[in-house]
Amino acid sequence: MKKLSFLLSAAVLTLILGACSNEEASKGEEKEESAAETTEAADEGKEMRSALLSYQGEVTKVIRNTDANLTAEGQDPAEAAAAFEKEAKAVSVPEELTDYTKDIEAAVDSLSQYYAKKAELVKAGSEDMAEAEPFKEEYINSMTKVFEEVELSAPAFNSVFQ
């Protein structure tokens, strides 16, 4: 009887230890999965930030080129503004920024309106560009929002413009 009781106790103890080790193993697997998901999310964030910086760099080149053309002698300001719209829309929004495409495209549209208004004012001989400024501010605000959402500090946009 004592032997049977001992064997029974040993069997129960073995089952309990086996169950505990399975729980710890599954907890370890969950931690590994969680760590993998965190690493994947961090990689996606880096890719988004990199894509946004590249995109903004391309748009900045178009902005600087347009600003130079708007005030160049012999250059029609309206043509420079039209060229901006064409060139800015040719800079495609990177795939990594799909969630922000709508905001980015709206920002570029505001910038197109800015250059159209600025061209109109330059052609009229005005040096006061105050009427165009609200469109530029819309662009800056929209892009700043996108930069903040991908956890990047927004560049000093005003330094991009002449």
> Rounded to the nearest 5 degrees, what angle is found at the Cα of 65, between the Cα atoms of 99 and 122?
105
Question: In terms of Cα–Cα distance, which of 56, 139, 153, 44 is closest to 99?
Answer: 44
Residue ranges, the chain, pLDDT below 50: none
Average pLDDT of the chain to the nearest whole number: 83
Q: How far is CA 74 from the centre of its chain?
A: 38
Asked whether the beta carbons of 57 and 152 are under 8 A apart, the reply is: no
pLDDT for res 31: 60
| Spatial separation of the C-alpha atoms in residues 117 and 140, rounded to whole Å | 16
For the question of whether the overall pTM of this predicted structure is more than 0.75, the answer is no
Asked whether the beta carbons of 104 and 128 are under 8 A apart, the reply is: no
Q: How far is CA 105 from CA 123, 139, 142, in A?
A: 27, 10, 10
The dihedral of CA 146, 149, 151, 156: what is its sign? Answer: positive
Asked whether the beta carbons of 122 and 84 are under 8 A apart, the reply is: no
Asked whether the beta carbons of 161 and 67 are under 8 A apart, the reply is: yes
| Spatial separation of the C-alpha atoms in residues 37 and 31, rounded to whole Å | 10
pLDDT for res 11: 57
Q: Locate all alpha helices (DSSP H) within the chain, ordered by sequence.
A: 2-71, 77-90, 101-123, 133-149
Q: How far is CA 85 from CA 62, 68, 123, 145, in A?
A: 9, 15, 18, 22
pLDDT for res 19: 62
pLDDT for res 75: 86
